Amino acid sequence: MKYSPLFLFAGVVTCSLALMPGTRAAGKQKTFAIIPKSISISFYNDVERGCKEEGAKLGVNVIYTGPDTADAAKQVQVLQDLVSRGVDGFAVAPMDGDSVIGVIESAIKKGVKVITFDADSPKSQRVCFVGTNNEQGGYEAGKAFASVMPKGKFAVLTGGLASVNHNQRGAGFRKALKEAGGEYTEIPGSPFPCNDDAAKSIQIIQDTLTRYPDLNGFFFSGGWPLFGAPEAYLRAISKHADDIKANKFVVVSFDTLPEELKILKQGACQALIGQRPYAMGVKSIDILNDLTEGKTVPAVVDTGVDVVTAANVDQFLK
């Protein structure tokens, strides 16, 4: 089956959206949309599950959709289409926080409730952000890195250079290293953007290790190489496998998807910073529903983080 390159609607309860945005007949079921950076990123699978299950509990329609690749322009087009279809509200994880400002403003003027999740658009008029305190998560990653490697050269693998959440994680990571007091050097060119593409993340790892044989470690602000291409990741770091197990080379990554937990369990990285994507999905629907009912909502809903190491990984593998 061939899908439209613009966007995919993924297994949702659909309805006829004949009304103009911001208007809804009495008794008509509300419709909310959840738009990740890309529906191909497996991190968002639990977001999808959470939003759909919460939507079913509340009796609202949920559309889970987005671009098939992490592309800011395509994401804006998806949002514009949803507004024209008359959704009551949407939660978006912006690929580029600034790129969605215009469409968010347009949606709000038409009565659509708008929030962000996972990644924010702080300059926009969105009402609420639901997700990880990304700077704190990055800070925890930096603490984990410093606890293993008291000094040395490091590289940061990031998503998109305009992604607010990844920039916040990088800032938190560097803050923790600075506070640790060791002599750390970030190599030239870092952070390296993979644009949420697992294959590109592997290539970056390989190129970086070749160019900087004296590198002491990586911080991945997203788990693309671990959950998107685990076998390729293991091959890419194979020459450093023994050093990682001996804590002579450090890899700290965001996210705790099953593939990542298995990699941690076998000693191919030292720490994972876990987010709670299911909670992001649930809370996003709750907040949108509250907004349509005229309730006051917080500006930020922090879904929390988990720091996972060899000491507690078994708890997360259950």
pLDDT tens-place string over residues 162-182? 999 999 999 999 999 999 999
| 292 within 8 A of 42, measured Cβ to Cβ | no
Are 55 and 67 contained in the same domain? Answer: yes
Residue 28: per-residue pLDDT: 85
Are 149 and 257 contained in the same domain? Answer: yes
| 50 within 8 A of 12, measured Cβ to Cβ | no
CA distances from 19 to 77, 255, 300 (A): 20, 39, 30
Low pLDDT (below 50) residues in the chain: 1-23
Are 256 and 243 contained in the same domain? Answer: yes
Are 139 and 221 contained in the same domain? Answer: yes
Residue 313 domain flag: no
Residue 315 domain flag: no
Residue 316 domain flag: no
Residue 13: per-residue pLDDT: 35
Rounded distance, CA 293 to CA 55, Å?
15
Residue 6: per-residue pLDDT: 37
Residue 251: give its domain's CATH number: 3.40.50.2300
Residue 291 domain flag: yes
Residue 318 domain flag: no
Which residues form the domain of 57?
8-130+277-299
Residue 90: per-residue pLDDT: 99
Are 68 and 171 contained in the same domain? Answer: no
Are 26 and 69 contained in the same domain? Answer: yes
pLDDT in tens, 44-80: 999 999 999 999 999 999 999 999 999 999 999 999 9
Are 143 and 104 contained in the same domain? Answer: no
- List the 89-92 sheet strands across, edge first: 8-9, 61-66, 31-35, 89-92, 113-117, 129-131, 300-302
Residue 314 domain flag: no
Are 138 and 259 contained in the same domain? Answer: yes
Residue 308 domain flag: no
Are 161 and 233 contained in the same domain? Answer: yes
Are 281 and 263 contained in the same domain? Answer: no
Residue 1: per-residue pLDDT: 38
Are 93 and 160 contained in the same domain? Answer: no
Residue 27: per-residue pLDDT: 66
pLDDT in tens, 91-103: 999 999 999 999 9
- How many domains, the chain? 2
Residue 259: per-residue pLDDT: 96
Are 39 and 110 contained in the same domain? Answer: yes
